[in-house]
Amino acid sequence: EAQVTQNPRYLITVTGKKLTVTCSQNMNHEYMSWYRQDPGLGLRQIYYSMNVEVTDKGDVPEGYKVSRKEKRNFPLILESPSPNQTSLYFCASSPLADTQYFGPGTRLTVL
Amino acid sequence: DQQVKQNSPSLSVQEGRISILNCDYTNSMFDYFLWYKKYPAEGPTFLISISSIKDKNEDGRFTVFLNKSAKHLSLHIVPSQPGDSAVYFCAARSEYGNKLVFGAGTILRVKS
């Protein structure tokens, strides 16, 4: 089954404790992206990757890091999480940056 | 500054009637527009799209209209069904082709 998977689905952590949210797709897509969803703001892009070893900032990259060492994986790293990073996070992939396929989401709470 | 705006946070419609969801954009260089649907506890799923060279695209009960001069697009759902109750996001592809820009979403409730 073609899908984008994210782990964990739910995470509660404390300020400053490094964490990684994994994302994996099995569709051999070139393009992958991370978004955060906040009430009244919709989906805002954090980082995206056009291909392996090619990443770029989206609209809200501060406080986040990503890597793309393999085509299928695109982890999101929060080196020192803060409460304003409490949000719902989505990973997405697509052949190009158009019809993107989204993962099920990761709800992160930073205390 | 939001380049894609969905000014109605919510919409309530009776089952069987038409639902019209609206979206406005500010960047005339956007060349491709999409609608996504999102149920609680799930990721957004692609619904329908339209290229900037067209003014209408239809897929079953769903039709998207694009008015480039007004920088406005709309999604029509006819007839509306209770299962259509979800959050609908409008999105536009940037002129550089490297990302989608999303609106804030509209919550649609279809009452039976």
Walking along chain B (112 residues) 10 residues at a time, the average pLDDT comes out as: 90 98 94 95 95 95 97 98 98 83 96 95
On whether the CB atoms of residues B56 and B50 are closer than 8 A, the answer is yes
Q: Specify the pLDDT at position A96.
A: 75
Q: How far is B72 from chain A (nearest CA, A)?
A: 18
Strands (E), A26-82: 31-38, 42-51, 54-57, 65-66, 76-78
Output Rg (C-alpha) for chain B, integer angstroms. Answer: 13
* pLDDT at residue B40 in the model: 92
pLDDT of A106: 98
Cβ atoms of residues B107 and B11 within 8 Å: yes
Ranges of residues in chain A whose predicted pLDDT is under 70: 97
Contacts of B10 in chain A (CB under 8 A): none
Q: Which of B5, B10, B39, B100 is best to mutate for the A interface (most A CBs within 10 A)?
A: B100
Q: CA dihedral in degrees (B58, B82, A35, B35; nearest 10)?
A: 10
Per DSSP, which regions of chain B are E strands?
4-5, 10-14, 19-25, 32-38, 45-51, 56-59, 62-67, 72-77, 86-93, 100-102, 106-111
